[in-house]
Amino acid sequence: MLSQFDYVKPLVLDQALDALSREGDTYILAGGTDLLISLRHNLIDAKHIVDIKAIPELDVFHFEEGKGLEIGANVVVNRLIDSDLIKTRYKALHDAASVLASYQLRNRATLVGNLCNASPGADLPPPLLIYDARVKIASSEGERTVDLKDFFTGVKKTQLAKNELVVSVLLPDPGQNDKSCYHRQTRLKGHDLSTVGVACRIDGQGKAAIGINAVAVTPLRLTALENELNARGLNEESILWASEEIKNHIKPISDVRSSREYRLHMAGVLFRRCMNQLMDKEA
């Protein structure tokens, strides 16, 4: 690590936002599982580290019936797994959290951090996308909220400006008749990044939503495919059709982790497995 930085741990959000506005080369520290790797490999030159873990409003983990769930920037991934609410109401998110990295990393890694890192293969975005997640962003100039699907702009790129901080993620209440799941392919049974991961949801109106990672420069919500599938109605035939059609809606590449062919192949397989699992629950 060549960076030489000072470290502050503000107790109020405004101080953190001030630091982001004021100083160049300032980085936010929450879980640190991505930041410290960037520091180790000298991908960034940090002069100031702002630890946000003492800011109480970032600890929010609040659900209101009818309104939805707010997950603050400090909420770690293991918390998502331990939450019965997430397990019952946002199952795909529970599935994805359960396979992210390893236990000790999940004690530190945060949901918001996973989003801000914006890896195309990140596990948490697909479930959040199918639940129409929104991202609350703050800066010393004020607050704004954007749809998660607009948040990612490229490989490891988001629309966050240098002086902005993600405060929380908002998930609408899907209601009681909603179901979802997340399946992903990895190279081994142990901890791994996703070769390709698919999140599917059937909402209270019987409409499907599909999220996917590692097949484009950002995680995707496959709206066009959903529309075509929902127009046909959900049945064994249409799901089979969609599991082939999905290949026309994604543009995976070959990289060190996997070939394009295998990602195309598994996108279809995982989609079908997700949907069959959700449909079986119905029957």
Partner 1 sequence: MTHSELEHCTYQAHGDYKSSYKHVGQPYVRKDAVEKVTGQARYAFDLELPGMLHAKTLHSPHARARIVSIDTSRAKALVGVKAVITGEDSDITVGLYMQDKLAIATGETRYQGEVVAAVTATTEAIAEKAISLIEVEYEVLEPVRNLDDALEAKTLVHEDIAEIKHVEGVFFPQPDSNIASLNKSRKGDLDKGMAEADLVVENEFTLPAVAHVPLETHVSIVQADPYSNRIRIWSSAQSPFALRQLMAHSFGVKESDIEVHIPFVGGAFGGKAGIHLEPLVTLLSRASGGAPVKLRMTREQEFNYLPTRAGMRGRIKTGVKKDGTMVASDIVYDWDSGAYADYGVNVGKTAVYGGLGPYDVDNVSIVSKTIYTNKVFSTAYRGFGHLETLWTVERQMDILSQKLGIDPYEFRMKNILRPGSTTVTGERVTRSTGCPADCLSAVVKEIGWTGRKSEEERAREWKTGKVRGKGFAMIQKAPAMPPNTATAVVMQMAGDGHVKIMIGAIDYGQGALTSIAQIAAQELDLPMDMIEVIKETNTETNPYDWNTVASKYTFMGGNATIQASRRMLDQMKDIAGQALRCSPEVLTHGDGYIYNKHRPERRIAYKDMALGYAYPDGNGIGGPLIAHGICMADGLTNLDPETGQGLPALAWTFGAHAVDIEVDVESGDITVLKVASAFDLGQVINERMVYGQVMGGVMQGIGSAILEGYKFSDDNVLLNPSFTDNKIPTFKDMPVEVVPIYIENPQLNGPYGARGVAEHTMISIPSAIGNALYDALGINFYHLPLTPENVALGIASGKKDVK
Partner 2 sequence: MTTHDDKDICAMETAHVESQKRRVILSCRVNGQAVVEEIDPTMLLLHFLRDKLKLFGAKEACGEGECGACTVILNGQAVASCLVLAVEAQGGEVLTVEGLARDGELSILQQEFVFEDALQCGFCTPGMLMSARALLDRSPDPTDEEIMEGMGGNLCRCTGYQQIFNAVKRAAKREREELKRS
State the first-to-last Cα distance of the chain, in angstroms, to the nearest integer: 55
Nearest in space to 200 (alpha carbons), one of 112, 259, 273, 117: 273
Q: What is the DSSP string of 44-107?
A: S--SEEEE-TT-GGGG-EEEETTTEEEEETT-BHHHHHH-HHHHHHSHHHHHHHHHSS-HHHHT
Site for partner 2 contains 7 (CB under 8 A): yes
Q: Is 102 an interacting residue with respect to partner 2 (CB under 8 A)?
A: yes
Instruction: Quote the Cα angle for 71-77-83, to 5°.
Output: 70
Residue whose CB is less far from partner 2, 61 or 63: 61
CB 48 within 8 A of CB 25: yes
Residue 259 site contact among partner 2, partner 1, none (CB < 5 to 8 Å, cut-off depends on kind): partner 1
Q: Interaction with partner 2 in 166-225: which residues (CB under 8 A)?
A: 190-191
How near is the Cβ of 34 to partner 2 at its closest, in Å? Answer: 9
* CA–CA separation, 161 and 154 (whole Å): 14
Binding residue for partner 2, selected from 12, 42, 85, 103, defined by CB under 8 A = 103
Determine which residue in the list 12, 22, 25, 36 makes contact with partner 2, applying CB under 8 A.
Answer: 36
Rule CB under 8 A: choose which of 60, 63, 87, 108 binds partner 2: 108
Q: How far is the CB of 190 from partner 1 (least distance, A)?
A: 3
- Binding residues (CB under 8 A) for partner 1: these are 1-2, 42, 185, 187-193, 195, 256-259, 261-262, 265-266, 269
Residues forming the site for partner 2 (CB under 8 A): 1, 3-7, 9, 29, 32-33, 36-37, 40, 49, 51, 53, 101-105, 107-108, 190-191
